[in-house]
A and B are shown apart, each in its own frame.
Chain A
Amino acid sequence: MRHAFSLVLTGLPIALTVAALSAAVWALHLSAGNRAIAALKANRDVAVAADAPPPVVLARMEFLIRQDRLTEAQPLAEALDGRADPRLRDDAHYNLANAWLRRGLDLITQGKVDAAGPFVVLARQEYRRALTLAPDDWDAKFNLDVASRLIRDFPAFERTVGDTGQVDRKRLWTDIPGTPRGGP
C-alpha cells in the first residue's frame, strides 16, 4: 500500500513531464511546418516530403500551381488521398482542378481549342473527386458547371469499373482524353 503510494507520487510527475515534452516536441514540429508554409507562400522553393503534414503539402501544391508546374502538383494531391482529412483532400483536388481549368481556358483564349480539351477533362475529373470527398463543396459545384459547359459529358464515355468495361476495337482510343495523368 505504502509502496504503491510512493510509486504513484513518483510516477505522476514523470509521466506528466514525458507528456509535456512530447507535446512540446510536437509543437516544435508543427512550428517547423508553419515556417515551411510561410516560405512557400513567399514563393520560396522549399522541398516538401510526401509524408509532411497535410497543410504543408497543400502549401507546396499552392506554390507549384502558382509556378504553373501542374504535373508536379498532381502526385501530391494523390499522396494526400491516403492520409489527410477529407476537407484538405477536397481543397487539394479543387485547387488542382482550378489550375487545370485555367490552363484550358488560357488555351481557349489563344484559340487552341483542341489543345484545351484534355485540360478541361482533367479539371472535370478533379472537381468530381473533390465533390466525392465533400458533396457540399459549392465552389467545386460551381466551377464544375463552368468546366462542363466547355466540354459536355457524353453517355458514350461511360465510366466503368473493373472488367465490366467493353472495349470496342474500332474505337479503342477515342475516349482517351489526352495527356496521361501522373506520369514521370
Chain B
Amino acid sequence: MGPRILVAGMVLLALRVGAAQAQPAAGDGQAVTVRAERDIGFFTGDLVRADVLVPLPGGARLDPASLPAPGPVTYWLDLRGITLTRQGQAVVLHLVYQNFYVALDARRLEIPGFPVRLLGDGVSRDVDVPSWTIGVSPLREVAPPVQEDPKAYLQADRLAPLLDAGRWRMVAGGLMVAAILALLPLAYHRAWGPFRRRAARDFAVAARHLRRLGARGETEAGYLEALLILHRALDGADGRRVLADDLPAFLDRHPLFAPLRAGLETFFQASRQAFFGSAPARARHQLPFKDVQGLGRSLAAAERGRP
C-alpha cells in the first residue's frame, strides 16, 4: 500500500451490491472512493482527514446543498470542515473529522457514509459516499498505577502567561530614536539648533592672519596690511565701516571690547598717520607690529566672551 491507504476495497464491493438502484447509470466503471491518509492509530481529539472522489458522469455536477454540514456526526465524531476541488471528470471532497472516542483498547469504528446529489440534464440522482472505518487507540494503560489521591492522575493546569510589554517598550524606544534621527534633516533644512549659523569670529581670523603675516618678516607693506586686516575685522564685527570717530559708538554697541578702548584708540591714531598722514614710519613707532598682533589677540580673546 502506498502513502495513502485505499480503504475503499470492501466499500467498492458494497457499492456494487447495495447501490445498484442508487446508480442507474452504472457501468461507467467508476465508483465513489474514499482515500484516507491513514486508518489506524487515532487518539481522542485527533483529526481524521479523508478525500472522497466522486465521479461526475456525463457533465453532471454536485449539488452543494446535499453535502453534510459541519457539526457533530455521532456522539464521538465531529465533522469540522468540508471543501471541494474539481479533478477532471470528478469532484474531490476533502473531509476533516475530529475523533472524540476515548478508547480502552484498540478497536475499529465506522465513520458513517452520506448521500450526495448529482445534478445534470434536469435529473438529479443520489450517490452514496460509503462508510469507512478507522482504528482508534487507547492513550493510557487500562489499569494505571494506583494513586493515593485520584487528582494525581491529572495533567497539571497551565499557568497564565505574562503580556509582552518589553517588546513594545523596545518598539517605542526604536521609533523614538528614529523620530530623533528624522528630526536631524529637518533641523538642518530649517537651520534649527546645532545647524543655526554661528556669528563669525572675525577677530580670531584676523589674529591668525596677523600671526602668519608676522612669520613672513616685518616690512612696511606688511605693516600696512596688518592695519588693514584689523580694520576689516572691526568692520566685520560691527557689520559696517568703523572709522576712528565711530569708535565710541562701536564700543557702545559691543561693550565686550570696552576694556580695549585705549589700545583701539592708539590703533586708530596709528592708522590715520599711516594712511592719511603718509607717515608709516611714525605710525610703526607709535604702534609697533608686535602691538598690532597683541591687539588682535586681545580682541580675539574678548570676542570669545560672546556665543
Contacts and interface: CB of A to CB of B under 8 A. Distances in A.
Contacts of B151: 102, 105-106
A141 B189 contact: no
A21 B69 CA distance: 48
Contacts, number: 159
B175 A19 contact: yes
Interface in B155-182: 155-165, 168-169, 171-173, 175-176, 178-180, 182
Interface in A136-153: 136-137, 139-146, 148-149, 152-153
A143 B154 contact: yes
Given A19-B175, A26-B168, A135-B98, A140 B186 contact: no
Contacts of B44: 131, 141, 144-145, 148
B140 interface: yes
A56 interface: yes
A144 B45 contact: yes
A155 interface: yes
B218 interface: no
Contacts of B47: 135
Contacts of A149: 102, 104
A56 B165 CA distance: 13
A21 B161 CA distance: 26
Contacts of B69: 161
Interface in A79-110: 88, 91, 94-95, 98-99, 101-102, 105-106, 108-109
Nearest to B178: A16
Interface string B56-96: 00000000000001011011101010000000000000000
B153 interface: yes
A30 B150 contact: no
Interface of B: 43-47, 69, 71-72, 74-76, 78, 80, 98, 100-102, 104, 138-140, 149-151, 153-165, 168-169, 171-173, 175-176, 178-180, 182-183, 185-186, 189
7 contacts: A10-B186, A23-B171, A27-B168, A27-B172, A55-B163, A131-B44, A153-B101
